[in-house]
Amino acid sequence: MKKYSYTELGMLFGMFIGSGIGITAFVITNNALFFTVTGFGIIIGLGIGSLLDRRRRQLT
């Protein structure tokens, strides 16, 4: 089984969280601009995941 990096997992979880928030906000306000929240979730997830990958490489 392939071991996924923290960057990949961070992007995935960021997309899930961002899309959940974006869809909920869209349903409440009917403003399609909230779908961009998914992109922010991906960006934050990538950042956190790459920091964790870098820290793991420094420890080994």
Model confidence pLDDT, tens digit, residues 2-58:
888 999 999 999 999 999 999 999 999 999 999 999 999 999 999 999 999 999 888
pLDDT range class, residue 60, cuts 50, 70, 90: confident
Any idea where the domains of the chain sit in the sequence?
Answer: 6-59
The string of DSSP codes covering 4-33 is PPHHHHHHHHHHHHHHHHHHHHHHHH--GG
According to the model, what pLDDT value does residue 59 have?
A: 84
pTM (predicted TM-score):
0.82
Model confidence pLDDT, tens digit, residues 38-53:
999 999 999 999 999 9
28 HSE (CA, 13 A, CB side): 7
Do the beta carbons of residue 22 and residue 39 sit within 8 Å? Answer: no
Dig out the tokens for 14 from the structure. 């960021």
Distance (Å, whole) CA 45 – CA 14:
5
